[in-house]
Structure 1
Amino acid sequence: MGKKSWHLDRRTFLKGLGVTCMLPYMEAMGAPLAKVGSVSEAPKRLCFVYFPNGVGLPPEGNPNHEQWNWFPIGEGKDYRFTKTLSPLERHRKEISILGGLSHPKSRRLLGHLAGDTWLTGGDLRGSEYKNNISVDQVAALHMAKHTRFPYLALSTDGGVGYKSRVSTLSFDPNGRPIPSEHRHREIFERYFAPGGGETSQLRRKSLQQEKKIVDLVLEDSKSLQSRLGQHDKMKLDEYMTSLNTVEEQIKRNEKWLNVPMKEFSADHINLNPNATVDPESYIRSSFDLMVLGMQTDITRVMTYMMAREDGMGFGENFPKLALGINKGHHAISHDKSLNHWQEWGSYDQWLARQFSYFLDKMKTTEDEFGPLIDNTLVLYGSACSSTHDAVNYPLVLAGGKNMGVKHGTYTKFDDHSPMSNLFVSMLHTMGIPVESFSDSTGKLDTNILG
C-alpha cells in the first residue's frame, strides 16, 4: 500500500519517540527559569517514598500486637516502637508517625487500587478512571524554575504499569501516569554525568538535533490531526503532550548547559544493582541517587515507589531474597498461618530499615546549608493499612527542621480526616500556599507542620 500524504514518516516517528524515551516525561515546565545556577537561600525539598500491600496489624489481645504491630504503642511523645519500626528509633527526633488518614474516594476500593491515588486523592470508583495531578507535580510546577529538572520519578520496576497497578507515584495535570525510571546507570548518566556523558560542544549539537526532531514531528502532526478518528485523536494528543514537554526540557537543558554541576563523588553508589539477587543493594542504590540529586540540587521534588501492589514486579520476591521467607510480599499479607504476623512484621521491619538508611544518608550528607534532611520534607508510607483496607494509612513524616517542622510524636487522626489535608499542609510548609488539593477540607489539624 502506498504512503498517504497524511501518514507520519516511520523514521521520523521513531526518532521522535526516541527523544520521548530518552528524556523524562516532564510536566509543569511553563514557569520561567530563575537566574540559572543562582542560589540565594536554602532550598526546600519534597520527597515521597511508597511501599505496597499495607502493613501487619495484629489485633489488640493478640500476643503479636505488642511486638509486630506497625503502628507504635501509645500516643503523643511517649509512644513506644514495636519491633516493626524499631529501625527508626535513632531518628525519633526527626520523624512523626501519623495514623488515621486516608483518601475518602478510595476508602471502599480494593486496597491495591488505592495505590494509584496515594499522591492524588483521585477517584477510581466506577468504570471511569478519574485520577488527577499528584501532589509532587503540584510542587514541581512551583519549584521547577530553580533546578535543572522539575522532578525525579523513580521506582523499582520503571515505566507506568497499568491502571490500578501502576509502577509510578506521579501523575500529570490530566491525571495520566508519568513514567518512572529504574535503571541506575542510565539515571546517573542522564542526570549527573557532565554534559550527559558528552563534551559541552557535542551535547549542544545533540540538543539541537533533538529539537529539530521534535519540531518535525510536531509540524507533521498538525496535518494529521484533522484526518483521525476520535480515539486516535486522543492517543495523538497524549503523544503530542509528551513531545511538548520534551521540547520544554530541551530548552531547559540548553539554558543549563554552561552551568557547571556541583562537585560530587559517586564512588559509593552501586550503579549496577540487581533487584532479582540483592534487593537491599538495589533499593539503597536508588536512595543514594536521590541523596546525590539533593546534594547537587538538580531537582527538589522526588518520588520513589519501592515496589508495586498486588504481587506485581520485582518487589514481590524481596521477602524471599532478603529474609529467606518462602512467600512473596503479597502472599504474606494474605497468609493465615501461625507465624503470619512475625513474617509480615519482619518484612515491614526490613522495609523500615531501608527507609532508615535513607534518613541516615540525608543526616550525614551536607550541602552548603547543612545536613540535607533539615531542608527536606519526606513522607514514607502505603495506601492501605492492611492488604485490602484503604483506610488508616501507615505514614511516617520526616525531616524539615529548618522549615519549622516539629517532630517526635505519634498522632492518631480521626478516621475521616482526608489525607489531602496533609498534602496542603506539606505544600504550605514548602512555601507553596495552595488553597486546596484534590478533596482537601483545609490544612491538617496538627502542630507538627505549624
Structure 2
Amino acid sequence: MTETMARKSWQIDRRQLLCGGGLALGLPLLDGMAWSMKGRELPRRLVVSYISYGVYEPKGEKGQNHPWNWWPGANPGPLEFNESSAPFAPLAPYVSYLRGLDHAGGYGLGGHSSGDVFATGADMGGTEKTNNVSIDQVAAKLRGHETRYASLVLGTEGGTGTYGRAKTLSHRGPGRPIPAEHRPKAIFDGLFRPYAGENVAAVRARLAREASLLDLLLENARGVRRRLGRADQEKVDEYLDSLRSLEQRTQRIDRWTHVPLAEVDPGALDLGTSRRDPEAYTRCLYDLIVLALRTDSTRFVSFMLESEASSDSETWHYASHALGYEGATHDLAHKRPVESGHWDRWRARQHAYFLERLRDTPEGEGNLLDRTAVLWGSAHPHASHSNVNYPLQLAGGNALGLSHGRLHAFEGARKVPLANLLVTLLDAVGAPVERFADSTGPMPEVLA
C-alpha cells in the first residue's frame, strides 16, 4: 500500500504546514503528524543548567536524612523526597541524583571559581588556564547543523565574565567563552525574529558580502602565516579558527533563510519581566528554552541561573526578592541560616517547573522530556566550597536510554570523574566521543 493510500483523513503531512508559512515549526509534534515521522528519528536534546553558591547539606540524626538536606535520601537507592526536594516528587520517574562526582580540574580553584569548569571539566588549576570546550559545544559541533541555531547560551547575568568568575557555561575551546544572553526579549527576537526587520533577499545579499570579505581575510591570513615563526603561527591559527567559525555561521544563516521561521506568539510570555521578580524572570527564561526546543530551533542549551560572582548584578539580591531574606544571596552559602533550605526549595521549584513544561509537551508517542537530557547542579557543596562532591541532578532522556528514580553514590572505591557522565550524555544525544576532559569511560549506572 502506498503512503498516500495509507493516510487517513486525520493524518497530517508535516510538510503541508511547513509550506503554509512555517506555523508547524512553532507547534509540538501533533498526533496526526506521527504517521509521517515513522522511520525518522525524533530530536535528541541536551540542557545544562547551573546554580551557584552550593546547597544546604545539614546532617540528620542517627543516620537519617535531614528534612532540609538538598539530597533526597541519606543512602543510595530509591529517592526519598524531603522538604528541600519535594518539588521533584511528581517527577520521580524522570529524575536521578548523583553524589560523589566532580571535576579534578577544579580542585585547585577557589570555591567561587569552580563554576567555570562545570560544563568543561578543564584543568584550569593546571595546564588549561583559559578553560576548554564545553559539553554543549561538543554536541553543537557534531550535530548543531541540523537546526537553525547550533546552540542556545543563556545566563541571568549575561556576557562571559572573567577567568575564575565566569558568567557563561559555554566555551568553544581554550580562551573562547561564548557570551550568555540574559534579556528575555533579545532571546525571543534572536530565536524567532533574527533578521531585525530585513527581508530575506536583503539578508542573503548581506551574507554574500560578508562571505566575500571572510574569504579575503582567510586568504590574507594564510599568506601571512607562512612567513611567521611557530609561536606567531599558533596565534594566527587561533585567528583563523575564529574566521572559520564566522564563515560557518554565515553559511548556516544563509542556508536557513530558505526555511520558514517558526511563528510564535510572544503574548504568552512576560518578555518585559526583570530580575527584581526572580520567579517570573527565571520562568520566562525557562519558557524560552522550552520554546526553542519545542520548535526545534536548537537542541543544545546551557543556562547559568546564577554565577559565582554576582555582586555586580541583581541576582546578588535574589534571595531577598524571593524569600525576604535580609542579606545577599551569597551569604546563604557561608552563614547557612535556616533560610538556606527554603532557598534550595525555591530553586527546586523553578527547575521543576521547567521539567514539568517539558514533560507536559507531547512529542511522538512521548513528550519533550523523554528526549531531553537535563543536567542541573552546582560546582561546590555546602559552605565549605571544597570543590568536591558536586550536588547534581540528572533528568529526562528516558527515551534516550537514561534510567531514573535513584540516588547514586560514586564514593570511595566507586569514585569516577564527572566527565564520565558527560561522555555518557554526549552518547545519549547522538554526539559520541571517545573521551572528554579526564573521562575514563562511560557511566553505565545511569543507563536503562
Question: When the two structures are superposed, what TM-score results if normalisation uses the length of structure 1?
Answer: 0.82
Q: Which whole-Å CA distance do the structure 2 matches of 1:98 and 1:178 have between them?
A: 28
Q: Which whole-Å CA distance do the structure 2 matches of 1:210 and 1:267 have between them?
A: 34
- Go from structure 1 to structure 2 and tell me whether the alpha carbon gap of 1:130 and 1:209 turns closer, same or farther (over 3 Å shift): closer
How far is 1:105 from its partner?
A: 2.6
1:383 aligns with 2:382: no
2:410 pairs, out of 409, 413, 424, with 413
1:247 aligns with 2:243: no
Corresponding residue number in structure 1 for 2:343: 347
Describe the SS at the equivalent of 1:377. strand
Q: Map Cα deviations across residues 70-99 of structure 1 (whole Å, 9 max, x no partner).
A: 112244554322211111111111111111
Corresponding residue number in structure 1 for 2:298: 299
Describe the SS at the equivalent of 1:145. helix
How far is 1:314 from its partner?
A: 3.1
Structure 1 range deviating more: 347-356 or 384-393: 384-393
How far is 1:156 from its partner?
A: 0.8
Corresponding residue number in structure 1 for 2:34: none
Q: Map Cα deviations across residues 218-273 of structure 1 (whole Å, 9 max, x no partner).
A: 56666887999999987776555434312211111111111123444432122222
Describe the SS at the equivalent of 2:340. helix
1:441 aligns with 2:440: yes
Question: When the two structures are superposed, what TM-score results if normalisation uses the length of structure 2?
Answer: 0.82
Counterpart residue identity of residue 375, structure 2: L
Kept after mapping to 1: 8 A contact 2:98/2:391? yes
How far is 1:215 from its partner?
A: 4.7
Kept after mapping to 2: 8 A contact 1:426/1:449? no
- Go from structure 1 to structure 2 and tell me whether the alpha carbon gap of 1:197 and 1:294 turns closer, same or farther (over 3 Å shift): farther
How far is 1:174 from its partner?
A: 3.0
Describe the SS at the equivalent of 1:185. helix
- Go from structure 1 to structure 2 and tell me whether the alpha carbon gap of 1:408 and 1:241 turns closer, same or farther (over 3 Å shift): same
Q: How many residues align?
A: 408
Corresponding residue number in structure 2 for 1:115: 115
The alignment yields a C-alpha RMSD, in angstroms, of: 3.0
- Go from structure 1 to structure 2 and tell me whether the alpha carbon gap of 1:130 and 1:414 turns closer, same or farther (over 3 Å shift): farther
Gaps of 5+ in 1: 1-38
- Go from structure 1 to structure 2 and tell me whether the alpha carbon gap of 1:116 and 1:254 turns closer, same or farther (over 3 Å shift): same
How far is 1:126 from its partner?
A: 5.0
Q: Which whole-Å CA distance do the structure 1 matches of 2:375 and 2:389 have between them?
A: 15
Corresponding residue number in structure 2 for 1:207: 207
Describe the SS at the equivalent of 2:67. helix
Q: Which whole-Å CA distance do the structure 2 matches of 1:323 and 1:239 have between them?
A: 47
1:397 aligns with 2:394: yes
Q: Which whole-Å CA distance do the structure 2 matches of 1:107 and 1:163 have between them?
A: 15
Q: Map Cα deviations across residues 148-190 of structure 1 (whole Å, 9 max, x no partner).
A: 1211111111111000000111111335322221222122222
Q: Map Cα deviations across residues 187-230 of structure 1 (whole Å, 9 max, x no partner).
A: 22222127554322232233234435545655666688799999
Corresponding residue number in structure 2 for 1:288: 287
Q: Which whole-Å CA distance do the structure 2 matches of 1:343 and 1:62 have between them?
A: 24
Counterpart residue identity of residue 351, structure 2: F
- Go from structure 1 to structure 2 and tell me whether the alpha carbon gap of 1:433 and 1:243 turns closer, same or farther (over 3 Å shift): closer
- Go from structure 1 to structure 2 and tell me whether the alpha carbon gap of 1:308 and 1:228 turns closer, same or farther (over 3 Å shift): farther
Structure 1 range deviating more: 353-362 or 130-139: 130-139
- Go from structure 1 to structure 2 and tell me whether the alpha carbon gap of 1:225 and 1:442 turns closer, same or farther (over 3 Å shift): closer
Kept after mapping to 2: 8 A contact 1:311/1:331? no
1:173 aligns with 2:170: no
- Go from structure 1 to structure 2 and tell me whether the alpha carbon gap of 1:88 and 1:121 turns closer, same or farther (over 3 Å shift): same
Q: Percent identical across equivalent pairs?
A: 38
Structure 1 range deviating more: 57-66 or 127-136: 57-66
Kept after mapping to 1: 8 A contact 2:156/2:306? yes
